[in-house]
Structure 1
């Protein structure tokens, strides 16, 4: 049986010690310093959740909000609508953003583009070209780097290419604490404009301590997940964005629902799941099976388990 990813033993022990009052360090300040080092942004706020980070970021945007037509996070639209933002839907290549489609848009000043590091968790966005276009056209870039923080290639979750970085640190994210999140930027005005929603975002020394612990090896954990996903893509005949880095595998198929149901029985997991079905805005808006490698405990990413996944998927296709 496969295991769903949970906070590491060391993280849980650290959080427990803080809860018992056995740690006297300012864990929030320590976590902020580590996040600054990872992102290259000077301003950091630890938040209560990823969605709360999105809320703070969108409160700072005065113009239109550009949202990908698929492969993002449904919270983008929900929060934007709640805040009364004018939403512009961006056409994508199955979640991947191209400057060609950005050029077709007519946006107001002080607008922003919000997107995830990996389109549908499946394919790495070209953050450099997105950043270049948006800077030249006065569009603020907001990257949800929940799945891309700690990138060894320095393309994802990098403050050079995103004006604002947001992240969730809930399960089963790369920084896996069970709750919490953060928002970063070099623009102090982002934080000045959003003082009220920041006050509504409560965190704790316990969560901050967990984030500190998880950040110590976040790069290795992301690389392990990306490499496992690459192995599946290389050994399953038809996958979307096969040559792109990602943390899940999406397999288009007209009989996706039945195949997903069969795979859930053939590849059981102790809780929650790692086989999902599309169409799904958070993945792609076509019939497909999504194999969420990012949801698996790291000990399940050994070659023997990956070969089992490949075998069962290929037998069903």
Structure 2
């Protein structure tokens, strides 16, 4: 049986010790230092969730909120709507952003583009070119790096490119604590001019201790996940964004719902799931099956488990 990803044993232990009052330390400050090192940003805030990080970021934007037409996170639109922001939808290639397509839009001053490191978790965004376009056109770039933080290539979750980086540290994210999140930036006004959203999203020292612990292994954990996805793509060739790095594989199929039920029976997991179906704004808006490698316990990213997934996909003619 496959296992759903949970916080590491070390993370659970330190969170328990902090909850019991056995450890007293300024874990929030330690988190700030580690996140600054990862993102190359000067200012960091720990929040109570990824959505609260989005709330803090979008609250600071005076102009339009530009969102991809698919492959993002539904919270982008929901939170922008709640904040009464004007939402502009950007056409993409199944979630992959071509910055030149922004030329076709009428965008007000002080606007922001918000996107995820991986389109639908499946294909990495060209953060360098997105950043270059945004900087040249006065658009703030906001990257949700929940799945891309810790990139050893420094192409994702890199503050030299994205003006604002935010992330969820809930389950089963790359920094996997069960709750919490963060936001980082070099734009000090993001925090100074919007104190209320930050007060509403403040978290506690227990969560901070967990984030601090998980940050120590985030680079290794992302690399293991990327390698596992790459192994599947060597054998399953008809995946969406198959030539790009990703933390899941998405396979187009006209009978996605029926096939997904077969896969769930053949590939049981202890809780939650790692087989999902599309169309889904958070993935792609066409019929497809998504195998969420990022959801699996790292012990289940070994070759014998991955080969079992490949075997079942091939049995169902998904190669």
Please indicate, yes or no, whether the TM-score normalized by the shorter chain is above 0.5: yes
For the residues of structure 2 that align with 1:28 and 1:64, how far apart are their CA atoms? 32
Look up the SS of the partner of 1:165 in the other structure: strand
Tell me which residue corresponds to 2:90: 90
Q: Are residues 1:272 and 2:272 paired?
A: yes
Structure 1 residue 173, shift from structure 2 partner: 0.2
* Structure 2 residue aligned with 1:71: 71
User: What does the per-residue CA deviation read over 1:250-296, in whole Å, with 9 as the maximum and x for residues that have no partner?
Assistant: 00011111111100000000000000000000000000000000000
SS in 2 for 1:103: helix
Map 1:206-245 → 2, pairs under 5 A? 206-245=206-245
Q: Could you tell me which residue of structure 1 aligns to residue 292 of structure 2?
A: 292
C-alpha displacement of 1:202: 2.3
Distance 2:237 2:146 in 1: 28
2-side partners of 1:202 and 1:57: how far apart? 14
Aligned equivalents of 1:215, 1:237: Cα separation in 2: 33
Match of residue 195 from structure 1: 195
In 1: Cα distance, 2:201 partner to 2:236 partner? 43
Corresponding residue of 2:49? 49
Matched, 1:60 2:60: yes
Q: Could you tell me which runs of 5 or more consecutive residues in structure 2 were left unpaired when the two chains were aligned.
A: none
1:237 is displaced (CA, Å) by 2.9
Instruction: Tell me, in whole angstroms, the C-alpha distance in 1 between the residues paired with 2:119 and 2:162.
Output: 16
Counterparts of 2:27 and 2:20, CA distance in 1? 14
Q: Does the CA-based 8 Å contact 1:121-1:147 persist in structure 2?
A: yes
* More displaced stretch, 88-97 vs 198-207: 198-207
Q: Deviations over 1:4-27 (max 9, x none)?
A: 000000000010111111112111
The CA deviation at 1:188 is 0.5
- Cα distance in 2, alignment partners of residues 252 and 54 from structure 1: 30
In the TM superposition, residue 56 of structure 1 has moved relative to its aligned partner by 0.4
1:108 corresponding residue in structure 2: 108
CA distance, structure 1, for counterparts of residue 275 and residue 101 of structure 2: 31
CA offsets 1:5-61 (integer angstroms, 9 cap, x no match): 000000000101111111121111111111111101111000000000000000000
Distance in structure 2 (CA, Å) of the matches to 1:100 and 1:259 = 37
The 8 Å contact of residues 234 and 242 in structure 1, kept in 2 or not, is answered as no
Which residue is 1:32 aligned to?
Answer: 32
C-alpha separation in 2, matches of 1:294 and 1:139: 31
Paired position in structure 2 for 1:205 = 205
Question: Which whole-Å CA distance do the structure 2 matches of 1:213 and 1:304 have between them?
Answer: 28
Q: CA contact under 8 A between 1:252 and 1:289: conserved in structure 2? A: yes
Moved over 3 A (4+): none
> Could you tell me how far 1:85 is from its partner in structure 2?
0.6
Task: Specify the SS of the correspondent of 2:135.
Answer: helix
Q: CA RMSD in A?
A: 0.6
Deviation string for 1:162-201 (max 9, x for gaps)? 1000100000000000000001100101001210110111
In the alignment, structure 1 residue 254 sits paired with structure 2 residue 274: no
CA distance in 2, matches of 1:154, 1:194: 29
Q: Does 1:159 align with 2:139?
A: no
5+ long unaligned stretches in structure 1: none
DSSP 3-state at the match of 1:153: coil
Using the alignment, how far apart are the partners of 1:241 and 1:196 within structure 2?
40
